[in-house]
Amino acid sequence: MDMSRLSDLRTAEVAPVRHLIDGASCGASDGAEMDVISPLDGRVLTTMAKGTRDDATRAVAAARAAFEDRRWAGRAPAERKKVLLKWADLIEANALDLAVLGVRDNGTEIGMALKAEPLSAAATIRYYAEAIDKIAGEVAPTADGILGLVHREPAGVVAAIVPWNFPLMIGAWKLGPALAAGCSVVLKPAETASLTLVRIAELALDAGLPPGVLNVVCGEGAVVGDALAHSMDVDVLVFTGSGPTGRRLLEASARSNMKRVYLELGGKSPNVVFADAPDLREAAKVSAAGIFRNAGQVCVAGSRVLVERSIDEEFTTLLAEVAQGMKVGDPLDPATNAGAVNSLRQLQQNLAFVEEARGQGRTVLGGRRIHEDTGGYYMEPTIVTGVDPSDRIAQEEVFGPVLAVMPFDTEEEAVALANGTDFGLAAAVWTSDLSRAHRMVRRIRAGVVHVNTYGGTDLTVPLGGVKQSGNGHDKSLHAFDKYLDLKTAWIKLEP
């Protein structure tokens, strides 16, 4: 990493952020702006257009016009691929600038941000660019005299609402397959992490993406997101975020045009450690990273450790050693292991969960705000033991560096605890027993189950949830299912 360049980017002035609609940068229709607060120091980093319903409507109209005149959807898949590959190259060429800008905006430690944000986004866009000209229709097995064809066609206008924790990575999971499929998109970034998404949308234009195919409207979810959800001209809505917001989006779909809605709504993911785990110290190290990196602000974070009672004390001690050895602080310091909490509101929510656990008599290691003198939003890695499965900290997503630890005695009890929440996004199992590993993978209700590791899946496999963790899948070729419609052609042939 170029340290001198990193130092320059740390203090670089950030221009006010505006919407990108129909290929043009523009402010809010009423001129309103909102401050962008950096979680690194609590100061105003820049300002951002505060989108209105009219702005959202204009963006949808631009996307609709672009889709209907087929300026993008009508191009051969190989032509779309060329543009997307050039876009990926531009993102990669600007990776350090994008990573630092994102860190200043949302607080992720730079080591993780560089890999998980611009470099991940570039890889995702390349993956879907390379895939699109290899996805074909079908010829149906029909009787003589009939030709049955199944076409795969772009679904239309997509509204994508993206969260603040990994805006480029998660944004690319939506944009890559949607644009490769030939859809037009209106992107709504999170209020507290919009800067990098606006920038890569500008790079898409530089790569040759036609105006109107990708539009970005900044602002509040209650205004811009709600307008997109109620739009009669949006065909598909994709969202990553909270359960309450997901419910409102489903209701909006029912009240408008019954657009397809795909939701990834987070989790309360169990990390199950059996006494026969291959290496308890390694399991503790990986498990700690699985909840404390990015200050716990990861949808698949392993926020519950379920540990076999015979090793409960030993494993909890190992977890504590790892947590206490982590460097939490300035996310632009490459030596930092965990950066800032995204916002003061999120920090206060995290601390409230911990205080409630303390009030219930649970044992808490860590759990304090730190580095308050910087003005930034930093929190100690926190381990809560003595947790009852019914405690709120064991049932609800904190979305912070807070780990709930619970013992179990039998495999049956471990399964019951693992499945004992409303969520089902991710899970992990640590064991040397291959048969047990297969049984747990089958019995734990989650979209992904790791064995003897946590995290680290790539684009070749899907990510999606069950139960109240959502529906539909990001990543892998299965992501195309959200953005491609099936159309049957039934043709009577002349005898």
Report, as residue numbers or ranges, the catalytic residues.
Answer: 264
Question: What would you report as the CA-atom Rg of the chain, rounded to the nearest whole angstrom?
Answer: 23
SS3 assignment for 65-83? HHHHCCCCCCCCHHHHHHH
396: its two tokens = 């609800």
- At residue 327, φ and ψ (nearest 5 deg) are -90, 115
Provide CB contacts within 8 A for 423, sequence distance 6+. 265, 266, 267, 268, 269, 397, 465, 467, 468, 469
Q: Closest Cα partner for 190 from 170, 233, 220?
A: 220
Cβ atoms 99, 115 nearer than 8 A = no
Instruction: Match 């808490």 to its residue by tokens.
Output: 364
C-alpha distance across the termini of the chain, in Å: 69
SS3 assignment for the chain? CCHHHHHHHHHCCCCCECEEECCEEECCCCCCEEEEECCCCCCEEEEEECCCHHHHHHHHHHHHHHHHCCCCCCCCHHHHHHHHHHHHHHHHHCHHHHHHHHHHHHCCCHHHHHHHHHHHHHHHHHHHHHHHCCCCCEEECCCCCEEEEEEEEECCEEEEECCCCCHHHHHHHHHHHHHHHCCEEEEECECCECHHHHHHHHHHHHCCCCCCCEEECCCCHHHHHHHHHHCCCCCEEEEECCHHHHHHHHHHHHHCCCCEEEEECCCCCEEEECCCCCCHHHHHHHHHHHHHHHHHCCCCCCCEEEEEHHHHHHHHHHHHHHHHHCCECCCCCCCCCECCCCCHHHHHHHHHHHHHHHHCCCEEECCCEECHHHCCCEECCEEEECCCCCCHHHHCCCCCCEEEEEEECCHHHHHHHHCCCCCCCEEEEECCCHHHHHHHHHHCCCCEEEECCCCCCCCCCCECCCHHHECCCECCHHHHHHCEEEEEEEEECCC
Residue type, position 145, single letter? G
